[in-house]
Structure 1
Amino acid sequence: MSVMVEFSMSPLDKGASVGDAVAKVVDFIDRSGVPYRLNPMGTVIEGTWDECFGLVKQCYALMAEESGRITITMKVDVRAGEDGRLDTKVRSVEERVGRKLRT
């Protein structure tokens, strides 16, 4: 089973600029070994249910060390029998369009 989670997480008590807090979490995701893609509005991770939600939980704990209020937005896609969808979903759209797209 493949689980993809797109999420964004931000502290609400650090003012308008949250880049340092977000960078700390993204660095943690990168070091985790879980496949991911960073985008301007969040991060998509792929793994098992436990890997994905365990990682989100760890990211929350990391941010909570320095913040008393955090907002988290998540979308979850669960599909039986398919892995590697971070790449295959994009390729599928590119094949239908007939060219490589900016991602």
Structure 2
Amino acid sequence: MVLMELSVVPLGKGESVSAYVAQCVALIDQSGLDYQLNAMGTIVEGELPRVLSLAQQCVELMAQHSDRVTASIKLDYRKGASGRIAAKVASVQAKLDGN
């Protein structure tokens, strides 16, 4: 399984791009993959081909609104592991709590 952190932004659309981000998040939601939106991007969990395809779809969606799109993508592959969106945060929190 792969965790993908994704941020895709159409350039030249002003200071706020939340309306465009919402379109990408809707696309991610429709994919059926587990995801978590945060202030700087969206984390998606799934098999590598599916998350990469989803990233491509998000870029292509933003390209409908702008001739230039920037994307930041970070991948974390771990064989056999799933449910890591919450588990990774819980692991760090447990250590902060002294467990």
Q: Percent identity?
A: 44
Return the alpha-carbon distance in structure 1 between the equivalents of residues 9 and 53 of structure 2: 18
What is the aligned partner in structure 1 of residue 62 from structure 2? 63
How far is 1:76 from its partner? 0.9
TM-score w.r.t. the length of structure 1 is 0.88
Cα deviations by residue, 1:40-97 (Å, 9 ceiling, x for unpaired): 0000001010011011011111111111100001111111111111111111112112
Runs of 4 or more consecutive aligned structure 1 residues displaced over 3 Å after TM superposition: none
TM-score w.r.t. the length of structure 2 is 0.92
Q: Answer yes or no: is 1:87 the counterpart of 2:80.
A: no
Aligned length: 98
Return the alpha-carbon distance in structure 2 between the equivalents of residues 12 and 64 of structure 1: 9
- Superposed counterparts of 1:19-34, under 5 Å: 19-34=18-33
- Tell me how large the CA RMSD over aligned residues is: 1.3
3-state secondary structure, aligned to 1:20: helix
Return 5+ residue gaps in structure 2 as ranges. Answer: none
Return 5+ residue gaps in structure 1 as ranges. Answer: none
